[in-house]
Every structure is written in structure tokens, then in C-alpha cells.
């Protein structure tokens, strides 16, 4: 014999399920919309840089924009072409003139730059966009002079940016230096290390003693494990000493600390070239300019040398417009109707007696506005442009806007009603059995 579920038990189960579904619905409705890649984002790129050799800096400028009502956390990405590598700060902000951050940008070592919208767009969802500028390095050796198109990948599209290539084709070997000097440049794309070279003219005396000192300024320390002295007579295309070196015949004496370096040679013959390569690490990344000074002393004649390198930093701007506040329709002032009295001549009574009556006042009906009545506002969402009516939400949109939470609440209400009906039916059946 099959046992039937008691109506009261069924009603309790239904009520329990209703409560669970309502809690789930309210929880899901409170979840924020998930971030996603912005399909309608736009960007333009341009450069005025000219490339003459490998590792030349290529500066790029951009303008960007995203569709109205894009959400905080939404992103758009830009991939650098293989000819360029990122050069500078790995992250930067795109700010309004008063310092509010509209979006942030982050670049990885592969040249992929991700722009992420901030909470600013929640209160300023319209006309969101701005500018950006950043530095890159041309990572390949240019061939002949030409205008080359660089292909940037932006979302599902490719943006081609022309860059002028003008490599040296004749008489490209730099002249031998006539005085001592120093050059310094960034050794890595993250700008955490600087490399410098101290150079000097070829030796002019039969025998020469050389002493080189190098002292970094604040914010830099010498990496003593990466001090490279070179001696030789052959110079390459870049003007530096190349193999065969004479380092073994004329060894250098090195004294190094993070704050000071001294390198000396004795008995260098006429015609020898001397160079000293030094790597310094950045100890204070907040500086914009790094300075390195020193001296080159040849046969007792001292020459001060120095070099300065600026940090290449990416930057950008952003803006957005707040949703206009809807203007309330003014309530019309009820009109007051003034009745115009109309005299009516009384008809004499057929009675023989004569009486005098006051004229009757007849108030003609007039239209009036009920006090307190207001004109209903024009239909439509103030945040929705008139020429862009709201579209029905799709299933994907419901999944990110919390609309399914409302559906859970409706379902919970239905289960609660079902439980009430079952409870009522159980109560009636119980009363019948009791009679």
C-alpha cells in the first residue's frame, strides 16, 4: 500500500523551499555584474619617431574611448607588434584633470597592454575616453630606408601605424673620440638598470697610465660584478672596441663599492683604445632623472665626465560624463473658476396674490483641475537616449545584472503559495475526519 505525503508535511516542504529560493534570489541579485572585454572600445595610434638603428626609442600617442554605460572592471587590450618592445613603467593611470583615475593600464613583457576601467565610470557612464602616451624600443636591426607599417592588435582588429626607417648606409663608422667622455642608457625595458661607458681618445704617448673613476648620484648603486674594462685597437661599426682585445696584455686594477668605482691601467702603448662599461642599479625608482659623474685621467691630465638619463614613463588622460538628472515636470496650478451670476426673471405665479422674490443665481458649469493632480512624466528612462530605446535583456545580460535573483524570488513566492494551498487542503481534510 502506497503511503501518501501528508498535506501538512507537503506544505512545510514547500515553505522551506520557498525560503531557500528567496535567499538565493536575494543573494544573486546583490552580486555585481562580472567584468568583461569591451567589444565596442576604440583606439587610434600615431608616432612621429624615426628609427635609425636597433633599440631606438619609438614614442606612441593614442586616443581611446569605450561605449556608454561600460562597467567598472571592464577591459580592452592592445598588443604591440613584434618589432617593438615595451619600454618604461609597467603600469600607469589615465586620470581626469582633477586627478580621478578613469582607467589603469598594465603592460607585460610580451608587449600586451590591458586597460581596465575603474569605479569612476559607475558615476560617469557617458562619453568615457581619453588619451595615452608611452615609449617602446625598436627591437630589430633596420635594413634599408623605408616607411614600415607596424601592426598592433586591438581586440579583434589590427591597427597599422607607419614609422619612418632611416638607417645609416655609408660613412657610418663614428670617428674616434678626441676627448674623454661618458654615455649612459637604460639596460632593460623596465628601467631598473642603467648601463654606461666611459671612453677616451687613443693613447698618444709611448707609454700611458690611465685612471678612471665613476661615482653614481643618489638613486643609483654600482653593480660591482658587472664592471667590464676593455683595451684594444680595433673599433666596430658602433665605434666601440671589438675583438681581438688586449685585456690580458694590459690588465686593469679594479676597486669597487656600490657608491664608487676606480679602475686603472699602467704602461698602455700608443694607439691603444680604452673603454670601461659599468652597470648601475636603480635604488630609488621615484626619480625622473639619473646622473652619473666621474673623471678620466690620462698621463696625469684629468678630464671630468658625466652623463644623464631621463626615465621614459607612460601616461594618459581620461574623462566621462555623469548621467543627467531627470527634471521633474512642474505641477500645474489648479485654475479657479469664477462664476458669473446670471439674473433670471421669475415667472409670475397664476395666483392672484403678488409676491416679490429675490433673483435666483444660476452657476454655469466650468472645467477645473482637481487640486493636487500632476501631469505624468514622459515615459522612458532618463539615462536612455530617445533615439536608442532600451532593448530586452538577453540571457547573458541577466546572468550578469542579477535579474535571475528576481526570478528566484518569484519562484519562491509561487512555492509559498503552493504550500499555503496544501496546508489549507490538509486542514479541511482534518476537519472532515473529526466529524
- In Å, what is the CA distance from 240 to each residue of 73, 212, 307, 309? 50, 17, 17, 20
- In Å, what is the CA distance from 193 to each residue of 107, 186, 212? 18, 6, 21
pLDDT digits (tens, 9 = 90+) for 137-189: 999 988 777 889 999 999 889 999 999 998 877 777 777 888 999 999 999 88
Fold matches, 42-168+315-320 and 192-310: yes
Query: How is residue 187 written as a grid cell?
Result: 639596460
pLDDT digits (tens, 9 = 90+) for 257-279: 999 999 999 999 999 999 999 99
Instruction: Give, rounded to a whole angstrom, the gap between the first and last alpha carbons of the chain.
Output: 26
| In the chain, where the domains are located | 7-31+404-434, 42-168+315-320, 192-310
Greatest mean pLDDT among 112-121, 312-321, 338-347: 112-121
The pLDDT of residue 55? 87
Note if the pTM is more than 0.85: no
- The torsion angles phi and psi of 395, rounded to 5 degrees, stand at -65, -35
Query: How is residue 163 written as a grid cell?
Result: 614609422
Residue 304: count of CB within 10 angstroms of its CB? 11
Q: Give the whole-angstrom CA distance, residue 204 versus residue 298.
A: 10
Instruction: Look at strands 57-65 and 84-87 and give their pairing.
Output: unpaired
Asked whether the beta carbons of 320 and 128 are under 8 A apart, the reply is: yes
Average predicted confidence (pLDDT) for the chain: 77
pLDDT digits (tens, 9 = 90+) for 21-40: 544 444 444 444 456 899 99
Half-sphere exposure of 5 toward its Cβ, with a 13 Å CA cutoff? 11
- In Å, what is the CA distance from 317 to each residue of 40, 94, 111, 175? 19, 4, 21, 44
Predicted confidence band of residue 423 (pLDDT cuts 50, 70, 90): low
The pLDDT of residue 120? 97
Residues 6+ apart with CB under 8 A from 168: 52, 53
Q: Give the whole-angstrom CA distance, residue 20 versus residue 412.
A: 8
Q: Give the whole-angstrom CA distance, residue 68 versus residue 44.
A: 18
Predicted confidence band of residue 291 (pLDDT cuts 50, 70, 90): very high
The pLDDT of residue 313? 79
pLDDT at 45 > cutoff 90: yes
**Which CATH code is given to the segment(s) 192-310?**
2.60.40.2430
Average pLDDT over residues 208-229: 95
Least confident of 117-121, 177-181, 285-289, 397-401: 397-401
DSSP helix, strand, coil percent of the chain (3-state; round to 5): 15, 40, 45
Continuous H helices in 37-130: 120-123
Residues 6+ apart with CB under 8 A from 120: 72, 96, 100, 101, 102, 318, 320
Q: Give the whole-angstrom CA distance, residue 31 versus residue 408.
A: 14
- What value, to the nearest 5°, has the Cα angle with vertex 296 and ends 292 and 299? 170
Helix axis angle, 403-434 to 7-30, nearest 10°: 170
Q: Which of 223, 276, 282, 284 is nearest to 247 (CA)?
A: 276
Q: Give the whole-angstrom CA distance, residue 12 versus residue 18.
A: 10
pLDDT digits (tens, 9 = 90+) for 72-126: 999 999 999 999 999 988 899 999 999 999 999 999 989 999 999 999 999 999 9
Class of domain 42-168+315-320 as given by CATH? mainly beta
The phi-psi region of residue 39 (left if phi > 0; otherwise alpha if psi is between -120 and 50; otherwise beta) is alpha
Q: Kind and range of the H or E element at 176?
A: none
Amino acid at each position: 500500500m502506497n503511503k501518501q505525503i501528508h498535506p501538512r508535511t507537503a506544505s512545510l516542504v514547500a515553505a522551506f523551499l520557498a525560503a531557500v529560493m528567496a535567499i538565493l534570489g536575494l543573494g544573486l541579485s546583490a552580486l555585481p555584474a562580472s567584468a568583461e572585454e569591451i567589444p565596442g572600445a576604440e583606439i587610434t595610434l600615431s608616432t612621429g619617431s624615426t628609427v635609425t638603428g636597433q633599440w631606438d626609442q619609438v614614442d606612441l600617442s593614442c586616443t581611446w574611448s569605450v561605449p556608454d554605460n561600460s562597467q567598472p572592471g571592464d577591459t580592452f587590450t592592445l598588443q604591440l607588434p613584434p618589432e617593438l618592445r615595451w619600454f618604461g613603467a609597467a603600469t600607469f593611470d589615465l586620470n581626469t584633470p582633477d586627478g580621478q583615475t578613469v582607467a589603469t593600464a598594465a603592460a607585460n613583457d610580451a608587449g600586451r597592454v590591458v586597460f581596465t576601467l575603474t569605479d569612476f565610470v559607475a558615476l560617469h557612464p557617458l562619453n568615457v575616453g581619453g588619451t595615452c602616451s608611452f615609449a617602446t624600443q625598436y627591437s630589430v636591426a633596420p635594413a634599408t630606408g623605408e616607411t614600415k607599417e607596424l601592426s598592433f592588435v586591438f581586440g579583434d582588429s589590427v591597427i597599422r601605424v607607419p614609422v619612418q626607417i632611416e638607417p645609416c648606409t655609408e660613412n657610418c663608422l663614428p670617428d674616434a673620440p678626441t676627448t674623454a667622455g661618458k654615455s649612459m642608457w637604460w639596460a632593460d625595458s623596465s628601467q631598473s638598470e642603467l648601463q654606461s661607458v666611459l671612453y677616451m681618445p687613443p693613447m698618444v704617448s709611448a707609454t700611458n697610465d690611465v685612471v678612471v673613476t665613476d661615482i653614481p648620484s643618489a638613486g643609483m648603486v654600482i653593480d660591482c660584478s658587472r664592471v667590464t674594462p676593455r683595451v684594444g685597437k680595433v673599433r666596430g661599426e658602433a665605434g666601440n672596441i671589438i675583438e681581438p682585445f688586449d685585456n690580458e696584455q694590459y690588465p686593469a686594477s679594479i676597486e669597487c663599492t656600490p657608491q664608487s668605482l676606480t679602475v686603472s691601467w699602467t704602461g698602455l702603448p700608443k694607439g691603444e683604445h680604452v673603454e670601461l662599461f659599468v652597470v648601475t642599479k636603480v635604488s630609488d625608482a621615484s626619480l625622473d632623472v639619473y646622473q652619473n659623474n666621474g673623471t678620466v685621467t690620462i698621463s696625469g691630465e684629468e678630464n671630468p665626465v658625466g652623463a644623464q638619463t631621463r626615465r621614459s614613463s607612460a601616461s594618459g588622460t581620461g574623462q566621462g560624463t555623469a548621467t543627467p538628472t531627470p527634471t521633474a515636470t512642474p505641477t500645474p496650478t489648479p485654475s479657479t473658476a469664477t462664476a458669473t451670476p446670471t439674473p433670471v426673471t421669475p415667472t409670475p405665479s397664476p395666483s392672484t396674490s403678488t409676491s416679490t422674490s429675490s433673483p435666483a443665481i444660476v452657476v454655469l458649469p466650468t472645467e477645473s483641475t482637481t487640486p493636487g493632480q500632476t501631469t505624468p512624466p514622459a515615459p522612458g528612462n532618463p539615462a536612455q537616449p530617445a533615439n536608442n530605446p532600451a532593448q530586452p535583456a538577453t540571457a547573458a545580460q541577466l546572468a550578469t545584472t542579477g535579474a535571475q535573483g528576481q526570478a528566484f524570488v518569484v519562484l519562491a513566492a509561487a512555492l509559498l503559495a503552493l504550500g499555503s494551498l496544501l496546508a489549507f487542503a490538509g486542514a479541511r481534510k482534518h476537519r472532515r475526519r473529526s466529524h
